[in-house]
A and B are shown apart, each in its own frame.
Chain A
Amino acid sequence: MNPSVPPSAAEYGGDEVSAIVLDPGFSSTRAGFAGEDTPKSLIPTYYGKYSFEDQDKIIFGDDVFVTPRPGLSIGNPMGRDGIVEDWDMAEKLWEYSFTSRLTGAKPGNPLHNGLNDVPDGELPTEMEGLETDEKPLADSPLLMSECSWNPTKAREKTIEIAMEKWGAPAFYLARNGVLAAFAAGKASALVIDIGASNISITPVHDGMVLKRGVQHSPLGGDYISSQVRALFKSNTPQPITITPHYLISSKTAVDAGQPPQAKYKTFPPDRTPDASYRSLLEERTLSEFKECVVQVWPGPTKLSAPGPNGVPNEEMARSSPGRPFEFPDGYNQVFGVDRYRVVESLFDAKAAIPDPDSLFPAPTQAQTVSELVKAALNGVDVDLRPHLLANVVVTGASSLLYGFTDRLNQELMQLYPGPRVRISAPGNTSERRFSSWIGGSILASLGTFHQMWISKKEFDEHGPNIVEKRCK
């Protein structure tokens, strides 16, 4: 194809206005230009905070993980239910997410940055339009995503930040369930989003969320991590403690199940980072564990139930070869049936590994994925249910657990034997992780979407409440 010939607009309906798409999540925040296929800027939503020479300093981005600064504490502006709690930090973090990679840092105040220094005796000329130039988003419309249960106040706050603080010429707030459906190429779908802090089920019809059907429960990736921790505590040869990488100076290889032989780094008490730092880094090890070892029992029956040929599923799982995992301190072990057990509670609440110290209360059956789907479908019109079941979109990084979609498929088939259940889950890892961002990228680059933006003018006219009227 001749690169000098542009694709005709009718072919793909696109018209790119260099909009920025911002998809904040609990674990990571994604930002990028609309029209691209992956977010250019991917930063953790966790931020580091420490004081240096009596000045409070904040670290954003991947730098958080790198240096164990004294007194470094980790915070997250998002609440566990996906709604912003700390608006100041959220604003800074989001701003960092697009200024660091996309729009670039704006030059500071020209009066002080030295670029405009004039020789003595001459008066500096008056700069006009100074105010607008400093706003980070002055020339890109901004599309943001939100969870489907975002309260009105939070939405209004979001548009205020975008319009007033960042100076966006246009803004739109879209539900991430809808965007994930768009990313899968569907206008109507049942979106099952397994995120870090939440599982959410969003029925989408014609690009609009059906609010009565929206369901969410806290059994996300972090919950699975807590289950893994509980598993480590009750581990049979000895309980496993996770020592993050930053505490290991050197290690030697040991046999499976043998106690670790490693030299540990020690920090003087006044130079140790906060406990939250350690738990964040432990979480990194855990997510590695989840990626490598943890597996979802494929079904069709529960792990605790007897299998189709009389043999209990647990026995079957035990007979399958285990998976080894080596911890940062060199301890390694082969995980057999336990690797199924940690995620079984997503589908069977009774299978949860009890842990009194965990942040998460023991799950109820109503919080499991299949029950959530059932509740979500009961919340929508009966005519729509078969259609939604035929368009199930699975997204979220935690849905990448090995065998998750198979099990989900089995559960849904058992729940609804009649209608056809079809799950669409992209095989591509990044598409699964960033699907709501990708949907936003598609949406914001559509020519027909440009009439939906809330412009600065409209915002000034109607106030922040306009977001409720326009972003339905």
Chain B
Amino acid sequence: MAAADVRDMLDLPAEGQPRPHKKQKVVEKRPEGITRELFALLGERAPPIAINENRYKGRPKWQTKARVRPWRMTPFSNEARSDDLVLRHWQREPGSTQTPAIEDMKMEGETTEQQGEQKSNEPQYPFAKYNIKINVPKRYTTDEYNRHLRSDEWSREETDYLMDLVEEYHLRWVVIADRYDFQPRPVDNPDDNTDTSTALVPSKQFRTMEQMKARYYFIAASMLALETPPSTMSPPEFELHEMMTKFDPERERHRKELAALQLNRTADEVREETVLLEELKRIAANEQEFVTERRELYSRLDIPVSVSNATNYHNSQGLSHLLQTLLQADKSKKRRSILGPDGIVPTPGGQTPTIPNGPGSARDSSRADTPNGGTTQPATTKKAAAAANKEAAQQAIRTLTPAEEARYGVQHHDRLAPGVQFRSDRVQKLTQAKSHVQTQKLGAALAELEVPLRLVMPTERVVKNFEKLIHSVNLLLDARKVAEKVESEIRVLEAAKEERERKAKEFKEKDKPEVKSEQRDEDAPVPPAPVSGAVGSAPQSGQPVNASEGQANPDASSTANNPASGEPATKEKEGVSHKRSASVLSNGSDKSSKRQKK
């Protein structure tokens, strides 16, 4: 039993405490420039200051022997510009790795290739790629405008102007609305024109941003729809189209009014709002706190059964339990480390079988964990080890004889209840029945037998006998209850019968010709009687045996005792009794036997 196995069994971490390293022998290197004798004088502990001599180490080697790459003021042109403005900036010459290639090309002496080389060599201006254009809808033609886009409020010129602005300012509506300055006929009044050039905000016909947006979205949506009809649009296109067609300037205006109101709140309103927000935050925080507290409480309440407690495995029972759980886990994992390849499960045989099994698996697992063992071990050896384990387990089973089992106190349990419990609880549980009355009766019966309710010496054997006793006492109590019930029913039925006979006699004496009605009368009282009603309900609801047993008896007794009663009634009763299940009958026989006992 290796340390790893013990650790595995006790559920300790694989390498809880690192193995104390072997004390390394610290051999201090004797620094150069100090004689051995002098160094020996220093003793074991090296002085805190280094005695290393600083020596000139020579010139650092250059990492590369590349030539210096000078910075040159080089002209460049920007591809994002329409004109070819040449500006100059400092640029480093390309590295020396490229120069031989170029020279080679030059050696070939082909002018066209040289040019090609130069062109590919010339890098694109790196910032040209940031020159992005927005997607604006295709500009309408006059025909399209007249057919689809005509509007009473917007002239063609103004629409053109709007579209130009949109393109110019990249759909920044704030800026567009700010710069919007459409003059219907700028040529007509030059005075006005000069005015507007100097004045900051010429307000001729004021268009709100919403109006502009509405117009633009209308045009953009229409153009989109003209280009690709909505039925053939791709989802994003359709979404865009939907969004643009659904733009509501009135709603937008309303929203902005509200936003302005919100912006221009007075200090008091703001304060009130902050107070309310604080309150809300507080409430939310409280709620959160409450939830966390409750969760904590819950987690404390149903804390999982701790398996990690090593004391569980100190006895054989715990060990077998462990094996069982391991097997379960093994089955669910569909691995074959414990379960042999041929599917023979070593029966949980108590203490000893678990031992050879445990270490094997533990060793395997520990080997898998440690990098030096697990990586090198092939699968075949693993299998062999598993087989060996199994054999060992079988051998272990054979070694235990019943006598030994008894001697060692080995027990077998079909099933163990999960969770921790006191064994003394089990003793107490025996003397407690479901109902209080029953418990009292049980207690009384035990008292009669002069057996204490709580066992003085609850050894295993004593408890077993006590169990038997309690069982039989319970049986007796049940039987007595049934008997009492039956007797009382018999009494009732007999009283009813006497009453009936008395009435029948009176009728016979009074009137002879009215036989039919009499018969009817005779029939009538029987079914509503409590007995027959109970009989009817019994087979349907499948009640506990006791109840149906109680109902079965009066029938039997009534049929047995009163063979002289009316024929139709008996027939019916017989039918009912036939319907009853076998268990009832057997119970009836049981009961009769119990009665005999009694």
Contacts and interface: CB of A to CB of B under 8 A. Distances in A.
B85 A15 contact: no
Contacts of B271: 417
A169 B179 contact: no
Interface residues of A, number: 48
A345 B92 CA distance: 56
Contacts of A453: 81, 85, 87
Contacts of B582: none
Interface in B21-37: none
Contacts of B560: none
A472 B81 CA distance: 17
A206 B127 contact: no
B178 interface: yes
B88 A17 contact: yes
A152 interface: yes
A417 B265 contact: yes
A149 B201 CA distance: 10
B174 A472 contact: no
Nearest to A6: B92
A9 B89 CA distance: 12
Interface stretch (A67-75, A218-226, A243-251, A376-384): A376-384
A419 B263 contact: yes
Contacts of A386: 263
B130 A206 contact: no
A472 B181 CA distance: 14
B83 A416 contact: no
B46 interface: no
A450 interface: yes
Contacts of A205: 172, 174-175, 178
A314 interface: no
A380 B85 contact: no
A463 interface: no
Given A6-B92, A418-B265, A448-B127, A382 B175 contact: no
A417 B267 contact: yes
Interface stretch (A120-128, A208-216, A357-365): A208-216
Interface in A449-469: 450-451, 453, 455-458
A10 to B, nearest CB: 8
B7 interface: no
B266 interface: yes
A170 interface: yes
B263 to A, nearest CB: 6
A385 interface: yes
Interface stretch (B254-262, B301-309, B315-323, B547-555): B254-262
A417 B200 contact: no
B127 A210 contact: no
Contact of A211 (B86, B89, B200): B200
A451 B174 contact: no
B198 interface: yes
A210 B267 CA distance: 28
Nearest to A19: B87
B127 A16 contact: no
B201 A211 contact: yes
Contacts of B92: 6
Given A210-B174, A447-B127, A15 B267 contact: no
A417 B263 CA distance: 8
Interface residues on B, range: 35 or more
B209 interface: yes
Interface string A403-425: 00000000000101111000000
Contacts of B81: 450-451, 453, 455
B345 interface: no
Contact of A382 (B86, B126, B198, B263): B263
B131 interface: yes
Nearest to B197: A152
Nearest to A418: B265
Contacts of A451: 78, 80-81, 127-128, 131
Interface in A1-40: 6, 9-10, 13, 15-18
B7 to A, nearest CB: 53
A457 B83 contact: yes
A17 B172 contact: no
B74 to A, nearest CB: 11
A139 B126 CA distance: 22
Given A15-B127, A17-B89, A418-B265, A382 B259 contact: yes
Most A-side CB within 10 Å, residue of B80, B83, B85, B131: B85
Nearest to B196: A152
A10 B128 CA distance: 13
Given A15-B127, A455-B83, A214 B200 contact: yes
Contacts of B112: none
A405 to B, nearest CB: 21
A414 B267 contact: yes
A417 B266 contact: yes
Given A211-B201, A214-B200, A418-B264, A18 B175 contact: no
Interface string A430-448: 0000000000000000111
A141 interface: yes
A417 B271 CA distance: 9
A79 interface: no
A448 B266 CA distance: 44
B177 interface: yes
A312 interface: no
Interface string A193-215: 00000000000011010111110
Contact of A17 (B87, B126, B266, B267): B87
A417 B270 contact: yes
B197 A206 contact: no
Contacts of A324: none
6 contacts: A152-B197, A169-B86, A205-B174, A383-B174, A455-B83, A458-B83
Nearest 10 A/B pairs, CB to CB: A447-B127, A455-B85, A451-B80, A417-B267, A417-B270, A17-B87, A210-B178, A418-B265, A382-B260, A448-B130
Interface of A: 6, 9-10, 13, 15-18, 139, 141, 149, 151-153, 169-170, 205-206, 208, 210-214, 379-386, 414, 416-419, 446-448, 450-451, 453, 455-458, 472
Given A453-B87, A457-B85, 5 more contacts: A18-B89, A151-B197, A417-B271, A447-B125, A447-B127
Interface of B: 78, 80-81, 83, 85-90, 92, 125-128, 130-131, 168-169, 172-175, 177-179, 197-198, 200-201, 209, 256, 259-260, 262-267, 269-271
